[in-house]
Structure 1
């Protein structure tokens, strides 16, 4: 597995990997992560992946992290 890029945006660590004819796009906040696997054949250029790190897709990633955190907090109230 090869790291292509690593960046931080809005407190979210973003790492792009090249692995086994796929790109792995990993978003991390604290102990939570979201990983998206994208077939290399679906991408014409690596720079196209930059589009996934902004706009509506990135907004949905942030919202999903909020939902994940809330779900964990709710579950831990029972302890």
Structure 2
């Protein structure tokens, strides 16, 4: 696995990786992680194209998913305490 880029963001750690013919777009916030895998064959513009996908709408949706993940885990733990 090769790190292609660490992409700065004030709230989310964003890493673009290349592995086994795929780009992996890894987002981390606290203990939670989201990974998006895309075949390199589907990306004609290389890693620069992948970086353009990180627009405000995508990042806001990702933050909402992180919040949903946190809520889901919190509720599961509460049900079993």
Global fold match (TM > 0.5): yes
Question: What SS does the aligned partner of 2:53 have?
Answer: helix
Query: C-alpha offsets along residues 12-57 of structure 1, whole Å, 9 cap, x if unaligned?
Result: 1000001111000000111110000001011112111112222322
Matches within 5 A, 1:1-79: 1-45=1-45, 46-78=47-79, 79=81
TM-score (norm 2): 0.87
Looking at structure 2, the residues matched to 7 and 55 of structure 1 have their Cα atoms a distance apart, in angstroms, of 14
Shift >6 Å, 4+ stretches: none
Q: 1:75 to 1:8 in 2, by over 3 A?
A: farther
Structure 1 stretches of 5 or more lacking a match? none
Alignment length, in residue pairs?
A: 79
Larger proportion of strand: 1
Structure 2 stretches of 5 or more lacking a match? none
* Shift of residue 70, structure 1, vs aligned partner: 0.8
CA RMSD of aligned residues (A): 1.2
TM-score (norm 1): 0.89
